Structure 1
Amino acid sequence: MHRTPDHLDAMPTIATLDELTDLIASRRHLYVRWSLGPYVDLAGPTSRDGLTGVELPGLSANPLDVEEWWGDRSLRTWAARRLYDYSHLPRIRDGVVRPWLLHGREAARGPDNEPLVRDVRPLGWIAPEVIEQAEEEIARQVGAWGPLDRH
């Protein structure tokens, strides 16, 4: 078991999808990372390619910045989709990973074209209830959609 420093144990928790949406609306360069948490990740701030084992030049994360093509569509739906796309990770990794919000700088792209982020600043855990709210938001959409689960 990893012991986290007090400042990361006390990291705030984003409790609602609306709270996350407000954060996305107010700043750029936000990412969500699904992992054991910032204490483990920041001890050696790189990820590894799962196929080859190659060390990557940053932490693999999912961008939350809204793309211009999204236009004036619902920011809440955007946030929900960004979370929902990888919501399968706790299930396939025995429930040991959880999502957390970070601010950082994209240094490169990984093998799945995901951003590899450096200069990481942890901002908060994303509560399980936020994932549930994201799933509900996605269920209300017209198109059929599922998480990016390879299994």
Structure 2
Amino acid sequence: MSVRPAPEPLPMIESLDDLADLVMRQPDVYLRYSEGPETDRREPASCDYEADLVMPGLSVSAIAPEAWWPRPAQDWIARRIRQYAQLHEPGRFPWVLTGRVVGHGPDHEPLVTDVRPIARLGDRTLAEAAERYRAKFWVGRDSTTGTRP
């Protein structure tokens, strides 16, 4: 397992549109919330804390829209960013990478090795994702909530 050194400093993606352009050009881009590539380079595998097991790669989120998705890529990407926003806490940040999928974790998330860091997500990108998510989705609605509010 490996994480390649990140470019110094790690480039910043400053808009949701820029991130969507990257994802549409290179659909094997993944999102990760962590202390960053250098920390992940020292510990290149995630842990399943519930089972107390080291997994065979880093836990990431796929952010490329599925082929069946009829809406703009920005909608899908904003939703994926917001699904794990609680992981953005002091010392941790969202960044994008490519890598080789070697399996899936207990939450069906891809596990990757041979990680190549690409960029961090800037504050503006995160704000645009949050705004788009609130504007375009029924946030929190699921199969148990019934009809639209």
| Contact 2:23 2:29 (8 Å CA) reproduced | yes
Q: How far did residue 144 of structure 1 move? A: 2.8
Number of the residue aligned with 1:3: none
C-alpha distance after superposition, 1:16-58 (max 9, x if no partner): 1111010011112100100000001022311101212200000
Q: How far did residue 8 of structure 1 move? A: 4.1
> What percent identity do the matched residue pairs reach?
35
Q: Which runs of 5+ in 1 are unaligned?
A: 1-5, 147-151
- Mapped partners of 2:42, 2:20: distance in 1: 29
Q: How far did residue 145 of structure 1 move? A: 3.3
Match of 1:80 among 68, 78, 82: 78
Match of 1:100 among 84, 95, 100: 95
| Contact 2:44 2:57 (8 Å CA) reproduced | yes
2:120 aligned with 1:125: yes
- Mapped partners of 1:145, 1:89: distance in 2: 18
Letter in 2 for 1:78: W
SS of the equivalent of 2:96 reads strand
Query: How many residue pairs align between the two structures?
Result: 137
Letter in 1 for 2:88: P
- Mapped partners of 1:19, 1:25: distance in 2: 10
| Contact 1:8 1:38 (8 Å CA) reproduced | no
| Contact 1:87 1:131 (8 Å CA) reproduced | no
SS of the equivalent of 1:83 reads helix
- Mapped partners of 2:77, 2:96: distance in 1: 12
Number of the residue aligned with 1:49: 48
TM-score (norm 1): 0.84
Q: How does 1:4-83 map to 2 (within 5 A)?
A: 8-71=7-70, 73-83=71-81
TM-score (norm 2): 0.85
Q: CA RMSD in A?
A: 1.7
Q: Which runs of 5+ in 2 are unaligned?
A: 142-149
- Mapped partners of 1:10, 1:124: distance in 2: 9
Q: How far did residue 138 of structure 1 move? A: 0.9
* Runs of 4 or more above 2 Å deviation: 6-9
Pick which of 134-143 and 101-110 moved more. Answer: 134-143
